[in-house]
Structure 1
Amino acid sequence: MVESISIIGLGLIGGSLAKALRQKRPGLKLFAIDSSTSSLRLAEQEGVIDRGYAEGCSDIYNSDVIFICTPVRKAIDYISGLSGKIKKTCILTDVASTKSEICQYVEGLSNPPVFVGGHPMAGTEKSGYSNSFAHLFENAYYVLTPANTSDTRALAVMKDILKDIGAIPIVVTAGQHDLVTGCISHVPHVIASALVKLAIQKENSEGLVKLLAAGGFKDITRIASSNPTMWENIVLSNSDIVVPLLKDYIKIIEIFIQQISLSDNRAIHDFFNSAKLFRDSFASGTPGLIPLSFELLVDVLDEPGIIGSIATLLGASGINIKNMNVSNSREFEQGCLRITLSDQFNTDKAYDILTENSYRVFKKD
Structure 2
Amino acid sequence: MSFFIGGDVMKANVLIIGLGLIGGSIARAIKKEYPEVTILGYDRNTDTSLLAKTLQVIDEVVLTLQEYVHICDYIFISVPVKQTEEMILELGQYDLKKDVIVTDVGSTKQTIVLIAKDVFSGRGVTFIGGHPMAGSHKSGVVAAKDHLFENAFYIFTPLEHEDTNIERLKTLLKGTKANFVIMTPDEHDRIAGVISHFPHIIAASLVHQADRYDKENDLVRPLAAGGFRDITRIASSNPSMWRDILLQNREVLLDLFDNWLEEMERIRTFVAFGNGDKIYDYFMNAKNFRDGLPTRTKGAIPSFYDLYVDVPDYPGVISEITGLLANERISITNIRIIETREEIFGVLRISFQNEDDREKAKLCIESNTDFGTYNG
1:74 corresponding residue in structure 2: 83
1:102 corresponding residue in structure 2: 112
SS of 2:312 mapped into structure 1: coil
1:59 corresponding residue in structure 2: 68
2:16 corresponding residue in structure 1: 7
> Which of residues 224, 239, 244 is equivalent to 1:228?
239
In structure 2, distance between residues paired with 1:121 and 1:164: 16
1:130 corresponding residue in structure 2: 142
Instruction: Calculate the TM-score normalised by the size of structure 1.
Output: 0.93
In structure 2, distance between residues paired with 1:347 and 1:10: 29
In structure 1, distance between residues paired with 2:326 and 2:175: 31
In structure 2, distance between residues paired with 1:68 and 1:61: 15
1:90 corresponding residue in structure 2: 100
Q: Mean Cα displacement is larger for which, 95-104 or 350-359?
A: 350-359
- What are the residue-to-residue correspondences of 1:1-365 with 2, within 5 Å? 1-2=8-9, 3-83=12-92, 84-109=94-119, 110-111=121-122, 113-148=125-160, 151-204=162-215, 207-328=218-339, 336-358=347-369, 359-364=371-376
In structure 2, distance between residues paired with 1:70 and 1:175: 21
User: Contact 2:14–2:73 at 8 Å: present in 1 too?
Assistant: yes
In structure 1, distance between residues paired with 2:372 and 2:330: 18
Instruction: Calculate the TM-score normalised by the size of structure 2.
Output: 0.90
Across the aligned residues of Structure 1 and Structure 2, the Cα RMSD in angstroms comes to 1.9
In structure 1, distance between residues paired with 2:46 and 2:331: 29
SS of 1:139 mapped into structure 2: coil
User: Contact 1:61–1:82 at 8 Å: present in 2 too?
Assistant: no
In structure 2, distance between residues paired with 1:131 and 1:139: 18
SS of 2:297 mapped into structure 1: coil
User: Contact 2:88–2:115 at 8 Å: present in 1 too?
Assistant: no
In structure 1, distance between residues paired with 2:218 and 2:278: 36
Number of matched pairs: 359
SS of 1:282 mapped into structure 2: coil
Deviations 1:323-347 (A, max 9, x none): 2222129xxxx97111122333432
Percentage identity across aligned positions? 38
In structure 2, distance between residues paired with 1:180 and 1:335: 39
Shift of 1:10: 0.4
SS of 1:5 mapped into structure 2: strand
In structure 2, distance between residues paired with 1:322 and 1:301: 22
In structure 1, distance between residues paired with 2:218 and 2:63: 45
Structure 1 residues without counterparts, runs of 5 or longer: none
Structure 1 consecutive aligned stretches of length 4 or more whose deviation exceeds 6 Å: none
Deviations 1:80-139 (A, max 9, x none): 121252112100000000111111122233545301111011012332222222211111
In structure 2, distance between residues paired with 1:49 and 1:353: 37
User: Contact 2:16–2:42 at 8 Å: present in 1 too?
Assistant: yes
1:6 corresponds to which letter in structure 2? Answer: L
Change in Cα spacing, 1:177 to 1:335, as seen in structure 2 (3 Å) is: farther
User: Contact 2:129–2:159 at 8 Å: present in 1 too?
Assistant: yes
In structure 2, distance between residues paired with 1:65 and 1:107: 17
